[in-house]
Structure 1
């Protein structure tokens, strides 16, 4: 479980996050949503340690991550997997080399063990036999799946995903959502996803936090979001392509 308590983040005079507290439980798709500038990506970066909160604390399974120094954070980071918005694959590396990269950094596995792990992860994301391809030879959806394979190569307890469906067509987006959902449940991962894709919200949103002007404005599930009377959340939801008919089905 990941817990955040009273998180503030200020850049100069700009207060981006204003006292956000929440719990993110394992085996659940925890989604952070909100409009542009609401602070969702900043919050994700504060949780994972890419930004230091101006105030507040982050706990990983009860351990105070915020108060740790760099060396103390290493054991926690070994259990973190990340899928970035643009997949962040190394263009000069093959698919196989990209997946093995974190294993080289954080494990003492033998070469054959690393290869076995890479093959397992590729099979898990339905990309068997694509080991020797380079990112330039992959479609956008395939790149995302390689990114997921790399993210799970360390068997993470915590999975952070930033806009997984950005730039993808609706059908491929559903494939990525289903894959993230399956992995979350299969490994009982604490998964935190930043997204603006309402298909993802309604499809896999076990636990949703809606940010508005840097504050936690609403919290609930995808079933509850369909019937909320929160004006700002409704404005955000129905600014998307969702129709009233889709809402009434839930």
Structure 2
């Protein structure tokens, strides 16, 4: 479980996050949604320690993360898997080397054990046998799947995904959503996804946190969202023809 309590973050005079609180449960997929500039990615970065909030707390299973120094955070960081928006693969490394990178950093496994783990992760994302390819030889969807394979290489307890479907076609986006869903169930992860993809919202949104201008405006499930009476949320969600049709079918 991850808890955030009264998170504030500013950059100069720009107050990006204004007292955000929420609880993210294990074994569930939680989505953070909102318009551009609403604070979604900044909140995610505060939660994983890439940004330090000026006020508030982030707790991992009751462990106070925000007050820890770098060394104290290492055990928690070993339990975090992260899928970045652009996959963030190392261009000069093979697929296998990219997946093994966290293992090289944080584990005491032998080389053979690391290769075995990389092979398992590749099988898990349906890319078995692609070990020696370079990122330049992969499609966008394949890069996302390699990114997921790297994110699960350490058997994560917490999984963070920043815009996992960005730049992907609808069919590949559905495959990525299904993969995130399967991995969350398999590892019982506390999974948090930042997205603007309404297909993902309706497909895997067990818990949704809606941010508007740096504030928490609404939270609930995707089914609750269709009946919400929050003008800002409705304006954001029902700009999509898909979501208009879903609401009209109620």
Shift of 1:249: 4.4
User: 2:76 aligned with 1:76, yes or no?
Assistant: yes
Residue in structure 1 matched with residue 197 of structure 2 by the alignment: 197
Distance 1:194 1:33 in 2: 6
Shift of 1:177: 0.3
Residue in structure 2 matched with residue 32 of structure 1 by the alignment: 32
Residue in structure 2 matched with residue 209 of structure 1 by the alignment: 209
Distance 1:243 1:87 in 2: 28
Flag structure 1 segments of 5+ consecutive residues without an equivalent. Answer: none
Are the aligned partners of 2:35 and 2:196 in contact in 1 as well (CA < 8 Å)?
yes
Residue in structure 2 matched with residue 50 of structure 1 by the alignment: 50
Shift of 1:246: 2.4
Residue in structure 2 matched with residue 146 of structure 1 by the alignment: 146
Distance 2:240 2:163 in 1: 16
TM-score of the two chains, using structure 2 as the length reference: 0.98
Distance 1:243 1:159 in 2: 27
User: 2:223 aligned with 1:223, yes or no?
Assistant: yes
Are the aligned partners of 2:198 and 2:243 in contact in 1 as well (CA < 8 Å)?
no
Cα displacement string for residues 41-97 of structure 1 (whole angstroms, at most 9, x for unaligned residues): 000000010000010010000000001000000011000000000000001011000
Moved more, 237-246 or 179-188: 237-246
Are the aligned partners of 2:33 and 2:210 in contact in 1 as well (CA < 8 Å)?
yes
TM-score of the two chains, using structure 1 as the length reference: 0.98
Shift of 1:245: 2.5
Give the root-mean-square deviation of aligned CA atoms.
0.9
Distance 1:247 1:118 in 2: 43
Distance 2:179 2:105 in 1: 25
Shift of 1:30: 0.6
Shift of 1:248: 4.0
Distance 1:86 1:18 in 2: 27
Q: How many residues align?
A: 250
Distance 1:110 1:49 in 2: 29
Distance 1:88 1:213 in 2: 28
Shift of 1:186: 1.1
Are the aligned partners of 2:181 and 2:204 in contact in 1 as well (CA < 8 Å)?
yes
Residue in structure 1 matched with residue 6 of structure 2 by the alignment: 6
Shift of 1:244: 2.9
Distance 1:111 1:241 in 2: 50
Distance 2:20 2:244 in 1: 31
Write out aligned runs for 1:83-232 (5 A): 83-232=83-232
Distance 1:62 1:243 in 2: 37
Q: 1:243 to 1:196 in 2, by over 3 A?
A: closer
Cα displacement string for residues 176-211 of structure 1 (whole angstroms, at most 9, x for unaligned residues): 000001101111100110000000001000000000
User: 2:60 aligned with 1:60, yes or no?
Assistant: yes
